[in-house]
Structure 1
Amino acid sequence: MSRKAILTISFFLGSLFLFSQSLEDTLELFKENKQNLQTVLSHYSKNGEEEKYQAALFLIKNMPIHKSINYQWINIDKNKAINFTEFDFPDYKLAFKYLKKLNDSIKIRPKKNVEYDVNSISSEFLIKNIDAAFLEWKKNIWSKGYSFETFCEYILPYRSLTEPLENWREDYKVLANRTKYMIDDVTDPVAICTQIISSLDEFTFINKRPDPIPFLSPSQMLFRRQGSCPDLANFALMVCRSKGIAATFDFTPHYAASSNRHFWNTVVDTNGNHIPFNSNAINDANDCLPYIYNANRKRLGKVFRKTFSIQENTLANIIPLLKIPKGALRDKNIKDVTSEYVEVSNLSVNNNKFNDSIAYINVFNLGEWKVIDWGKENMNMMTFQNMGRDLVYLPSTYSKGKMTYLSHPFLIDKEGEQYELIPDTTSTFSGTLSRFNERKTDYIDFNTLEIIEGEKYRLFYWDNGWKKIGTSIAKNKEVFFENIPSNALFRLVPEKEDRFERIFMIESKTNQIVWY
């Protein structure tokens, strides 16, 4: 028996043991829909299709966390749904032009609809998805090397995020089938992925959509031919999976030394390695794939990967959701993959600084400290694991909807050493600050700060909150300040603050700025 066959059987047995402990409990969550799931299992059991039976078990066990989020437009005065679908229009621009006109006349508002898969999914839907996924996995030469475990996690799932539930595989496969493969090795899924994604040049990135839906449905993406960053990442993932290519949805909750956040993909190669590609550049083959994310050179504090399966070590599986700040940490199906992208180190802080056994780690982004990960108590220390280097972090605790930050942030330098940035107000210096006197790096972190002649600037340092040092009027694209404390974290803000300005440290002897 081959090693691959032994591993596959081992996975089956492990799955059978796992599911035997919880299948009945899971099916009970379906209530009225329980029969649909039992029909799927019975279908594959009677046909003797063991692998498909195991795949169905995988989907069913992890299904309770998955849901669709959509919106319905409501007439505010009558509190009734209006009859509107964008597909009734030649294109979505006309659809939302009509919607805007309607809002000007009768006033409308979006009503959020959340529907859990356990209550709505049908046996026909699941069987069709499973059969279509297996067909591509088994027939395509580039897919045959994937293990059953990789197949289940990154090809089989009928959804990726919270997009509206739809049968998408056939329509997306039509897109992929337009590709004329011009490669030497058709067994290489990375090469096939490159060809497919590069052919999708009519799908474009837009920074902001005119509707409130978190993620476009598969049919909306085909109709609009454009989407936001996460829309395009989800779209690229589905196109890949429709052809039996294992693909993932990766993201950074917030850039750690730049503004905003980012979502992208990886394709799994024949050795099980994840090769990143930039899905919001699918109309630019040179910036899409192969794509080494470090080439983007925006510093990453934390990277997560979305899975279909529930990850038992996530915070959302340990404490109630209401005790977790809103954002990615409330998801039960994220995996920390930061070390696949950057050098990482743990950040350990004395536990006596906290009033809880769980704490959070924040980066400065768009004028605020924003959560990117959590840590827990370990040997009288609060430890935050796998943090990107050459970055500044601020720990915090969270209670009753309020974040309480520690008095001082921490720097993890390029070598992985950590330093607490405690301002020394007994050792101050005067400084002339300029963009011409900043440390040069290979990073392309986004920093809009300009020092404009005659404009007023305020300099702050962090010490249990932002403390003002003073105000200076720019001369010769420089600003001068006195009484600057040593070993502090700073922020320079013009009168017309745009929230894209970065935090920094100052080398007291040279006045050189080091951005974070």
Structure 2
Amino acid sequence: MLTTKPLPYCKVFVLFFLSSCHNSTNIETTKSETLSYFSKNNEAKLAIKFLFDNYKGRYGLKTQFLTRDGIDKSDEVLNLNLYDYQNYLDSVDVNSSITKIYDSTALDKNFLIQNMNLALMVYENPIVGEKKWYDWKTFCEYVLPYRVGVEVLNNWRPYFYKRYSRYLKTFDIEKLSISNISEILKLELEGTSRYTFWEPQKKFKPSVNQTVDEILKFRTQFSCEDYAVHSTYVLRSLGIPAALEVIPYWGKFNFGHIQEAIMLEDQKFYPNTPRDTMPFLYQIAKMYRKTFSKVKNPTEQMISYGEAYENIPKDFNYDDLIDVTSERTKVSNITFDISQYKSIKTSYLCVYNNGQWMPVDWAKVMDNKVTFKNIGRNILYHMGQYTSTGMKLIKEPFILDAKGNINYPIDNKRNTNKLTIYNWDRNKTLDNGTGYILYSWDINTHSWQSLYEITASETSLQFSLPNETLCGLYKLEPSNQSNFTSVRPFTYKNGEQIWW
């Protein structure tokens, strides 16, 4: 879904997952003791019930660097400068392990009691706004939870509450809106805390999602997800509902994105662009909000429809994401006849991302038709079916335009056989003396077919297209990078490249 900078190559590098064992006896004891502590607090008991109704399957990921003898070298490796690490790694065989620590083994009474007391305190007496200015369901979902992502359980709430409640008291807080506070906190995170993208990565990423101790130690976000988790920690600690929002794959860019969303006084969630509900207009196909309560797992739904597990992409195996695409961009429901594909039970909608067609939505085949709902507009798509060998594309690529119309980029109505190209990728101009290969999408083989190779001698390239009908979807790659597949595709209209 999202990519972060990979760990540098070690002399012996192995990535594996270990899972801690579940202990139902201990977790039931923890639940009973926590409920007993709050026996006279009905709100706390309801909140505890919510947590224990939804904790199963939740976990944190702990990164460790171990020698073959099992000696933990994490502190040494994580303190290495990336530019000086090789001498150390050459002297020791290091395996990188990521251990999955389930909440069922990590939760304890004292941790839950502290978390509950602080969460209820800011709900009853918020830093800003009226008492209980949002409903109980919102509190349980977006303030109460003891975890934000897949971080190892840690005491983020007391630290960030103490730090930022004191900080905000230096302002005339009664005159501030939640939007004002959001901007103040954002400036502080990027300023005083020096928690910013602009510093180059100098060390290994300590974990998939950082704990408060790791944030304080490294002072660096290694990805957009790190910043979002940190910001959500801060907002929730102050009693302001906040959530992670996920773009699995951009519709017009490569990779994906995660950011925090904040609830304002109007009871609506906004991205970290204040008062702009659609900063990603016409850029995304799908966007989701992370929940703590469990939602229907798409994989389980597909299996119930008769689909085999191995024929389902791993992208759809989740139980904590709700679709908020319609809150962030213009959307449409689109239906296709796939009667020619008799064996398909489930069809997928894909976007072109980092050189591949990646699935962003799925639909059950009913009466030889599929309907994809709440699909972002002005994006290039392709349908597919999935098997154990991967995604197999069907039909042909199409563009769902800004008005919700489906257009196929078949190039049989062009009024010229000439293409004049100025960019080899979005915002990347041609380099004089560099060779480039022009590709066209072949709807029969569902692959890129090379048309021409030419060396740039000026700021533009001229191509004469063959007379036969082409798909009308192109890409241009530097010829000296044979595996360079991350360039964006484009169509051509009225003498201009239109990037997808």
**Equivalence for 2:179:** 190
The structure 1 residue matched to 2:268, chosen from 270, 273, 291, is: 273
Q: Does residue 1:471 correspond to 2:461, yes or no?
A: no
TM-superposed CA distance for 1:99, in Å, is 6.3
1:307 lines up with 2:297 in the alignment: no
- Quote how far apart the aligned CAs of 1:326 are: 3.3
- Residues 1:33 and 2:27 aligned together: yes
Amino acid in structure 1 at the alignment position of 2:258: F
Count of residue pairs brought into register by the alignment:
458
Q: TM-score, normalised by structure 1?
A: 0.81
Residue in 2 aligned with 1:433? Answer: 420
- Give, as a single letter, the amino acid of the residue that structure 2 aligns with 1:470: Y
Letter in 2 for 1:434: I
1:137 alignment partner AA: Y
User: Partner residue of 1:199?
Assistant: 188
Amino acid at match of 1:479: Q
Alignment counterpart, residue 350 of structure 1, candidates 320, 334, 337: 337
Deviations 1:359-392 (A, max 9, x none): 2222112222222222222443212211111111
Change (3 A) 1:187 1:40: farther
Query: Which residue does the alignment assign to 2:72?
Result: 82
Partner of 1:12: none
Counterpart residue type for residue 100 of structure 2: V
Relative distance call for 1:380 and 1:43 in structure 2 (3 A) is farther
Compute the RMSD of aligned alpha carbons: 2.9
Checking the alignment, whether the CA contact within 8 Å between 1:233 and 1:249 is kept in structure 2 is yes
Determine whether 1:246 maps to 2:279: no
Contact kept? 2:245, 2:287, Cα under 8 Å: yes
| Paired letter, 2:499 | W
Match of 1:118, SS state, is helix
Matches within 5 A, 1:157-172: 157-172=145-160
Check 1:161–1:237 CA distance in 2 against 1; reply closer, same or farther (3 A cut).
same
- Distance across 1 between alignment mates of 2:215 and 2:209: 9
Structure 2: tracts of 5 or more residues without a match: 1-21
Aligned equivalents of 1:239 and 1:171: distance in 2?
Answer: 9
Map of 1:107-506 to 2, 5 A cutoff? 107-140=93-126, 141-142=128-129, 144-177=132-165, 178-180=167-169, 182=171, 186=175, 188-200=177-189, 201=191, 202-205=194-197, 210-211=204-205, 213-227=207-221, 228-277=223-272, 289-290=273-274, 292=276, 294-295=278-279, 299-312=283-296, 314-315=298-299, 318-319=302-303, 323-327=311-315, 329-352=316-339, 354=341, 355-422=343-410, 430-435=417-422, 447-462=426-441, 463=443, 464-476=446-458, 477-483=460-466, 485-497=469-481, 498-506=484-492
Query: Is 305-314 or 58-67 further displaced after alignment?
Result: 305-314
**The structure with more helix, counted as a fraction of residues:** 1
Q: 1:321 to 1:74 in 2, by over 3 A?
A: farther
Shift of 1:135: 0.8
Deviating more after overlay: 392-401 vs 291-300: 291-300
TM-score normalised by the chain length of structure 2:
0.83
State the Cα distance separating 1:409 from its structure 2 match: 1.1
Going from structure 1 to structure 2, the CA distance change for 1:466 and 1:98 (only over 3 Å counts) comes to closer
Q: Is the 8 A contact 2:58 2:103 kept in 1?
A: yes
Counterpart amino acid of residue 466 in structure 2: N
The AA in structure 1 aligned to 2:225 is: P
**Helix, strand or coil for the counterpart of 2:49?**
helix
Displacement, 1:356?
A: 2.7
Instruction: List runs of 5+ in structure 1 lacking aligned partners.
Output: 1-27, 278-288, 439-445
Identify which of 53, 58, 79 aligns with 2:45: 53
* Other structure's SS at 1:226 match: coil
SS at match of 2:314: coil
Q: Contact 1:302–1:336 (CA<8 Å) still a contact in 2?
A: yes
Closer/same/farther in 2, CA of residues 182 and 130 from structure 1, 3 Å limit: same
Counterpart secondary structure, 1:352 = coil
Partner Cα distance (1:418, 1:215) in 2 = 39
Q: What SS does the aligned partner of 2:452 have?
A: strand
Alpha-carbon distance between aligned partners in 2 of 1:174 and 1:182, rounded to the nearest angstrom: 16
Measured after TM superposition, the shift of residue 106 of structure 1 is 1.1
The whole-number CA distance in structure 2 between the counterparts of 1:191 and 1:30 is 45
Amino acid across the alignment from 1:471: E
SS in 2 for 1:416: coil
Q: Report the alpha carbon displacement of residue 212 of structure 1 after superposing the two structures with TM.
A: 6.8
Q: Structure 1 residue 211: deviation in Å?
A: 3.3
**How far apart are the structure 2 equivalents of 1:101 and 1:155?**
45
Residue 293 of structure 1 and its aligned partner are, at CA, apart by 6.1
Mapped partners of 1:322, 1:247: distance in 2: 35
Instruction: Tell whether 2:494 aligns with 1:515.
Output: no
Distance 1:137 1:343 in 2: 34
Change in CA separation of 1:386 and 1:268 when aligned onto 2, cut-off 3 Å: same
User: AA paired with 2:110?
Assistant: E
Q: How far off is 1:174 after superposition? A: 2.8
Q: State the one-letter code of the partner of 1:453.
A: N
What CA distance in whole angstroms lies between the structure 1 residues aligned with 2:361 and 2:80? 41
Q: Hey, what's the Cα distance between the residues in 1 that align with 2:309 and 2:32?
A: 30
